[in-house]
Amino acid sequence: MCSSPSEFYVFKFRPSSHSDDYTLIATYKGAVRAEKVEKALQKLLKDMKDHCDDYDTDWSPDEASFSISGNKVWFEVYTAGYLDDIESILRKVAVPEEVECYRDYQELTVRVRVPRGLTPESAMLILDKEEAEAIKWFKENCGEPKVEDCEDGAHQTLEWFYSGDGIYSESTFYLGFEFYVGDRNYWEVE
Amino acid sequence: MSNYEELLNEIAKMLFRELEEREEEVQRMVSQLEVDEANYKNLMVREVVGDITVDAQFAFPPMRNHTPEEVKAKALTVFRKKFDRDKRLFY
């Protein structure tokens, strides 16, 4: 955090012409702090209703949702980036260890079935180019996969858990390139 | 530093002065919060500056949609609204 007037940096949520489902996840040292922030968010949304002219947002308080899970506070709303009032609460009421911001937040479990004994590296050699690129992407972004043997004894699954910005819709991954898995039954996405 | 960055810096200094004039109110709010006074002020200035950054960019050639003085006036209006919001929430 900067301390002198000349070292400020701008808030990261600059409104755009495009709206998305935004998810903010603030992590605090302990659940007590998270509960305090949750109460402040409740108060803020009520204040938005009572003083709507004082807020420059493109969403109504009724459209927003928030919850706490342990030491984390989740806030979700569909917006073009009008989130500075929310971030103000998340950062002032308690000092967060981290505030994450996602667009179209997703949690996915991705499994690909390969012949038993195949490492991700060797799978990248025998699968087609798109699949190799996808495996490389998951390795880089989600780490090494969990490997589990299949019941048939001849195959195993490489499994990654992903959480973050939306990357999957209608059987297609958007990983900087489009990767359609609808016709590849050895790929599974939950 | 570009023209608009200089304007934003000038606005940031102006906002810090505004906050200094409201020292008592700031201290009262901060007593309800976990951030300290310096961080509260930084967050407030960042928030306002974030709101008027695009206006500042459009105050210079080739756009010139408004004057730097108009951007400063808007920054003050935004600041007062946000400061009043915080008083309602944190007093």
Residues of B in contact with A85 (CB under 8 A): 82, 85
Q: How high is the pLDDT of residue A120?
A: 87
pLDDT at A15: 67
CA distance A26 to chain B (A): 15
Give tens-digit pLDDT for A36-80: 999 999 999 999 999 999 999 999 999 999 999 999 999 999 999
A62, burial (CB in 10 Å: exposed 0-12, middle 13-18, buried 19+): exposed
For each of the domains in chain A, give its residue range(s) and CATH number, in order of start: 5-103 (3.30.310), 106-189 (no CATH)
Cis peptide before B62 (omega within 30 of 0): yes
User: Rounded to whole angstroms, what are the CA distances from A64 to A27, A190, B15?
Assistant: 19, 25, 30
Chain A residues close to B33, C-beta within 8 Å: 92-94
Asked if residue A3 has pLDDT above 90, the reply is no
Contacts of A150 (CB under 8 A, 6+ apart): A113, A116, A156, A157
pLDDT in tens, B29-66: 999 999 999 999 999 999 999 999 999 999 999 888 89
Q: Hey, what are B20's tokens? A: 């200094």
- Which of the two residues, A121 and A93, has the higher pLDDT score? A93
Question: pLDDT (tens digit, 9 = 90+) per residue, A93-117?
Answer: 999 999 999 999 999 999 999 999 9
Tell whether A46 is within 8 A of chain B (Cβ): no
Q: For residue A6, give the nearest of B9, B34, B54 by CB distance.
A: B9
Note the pLDDT of residue A9: 41
- What integer pLDDT is reported at residue B74 of this predicted model? 97
pTM confidence score: 0.83
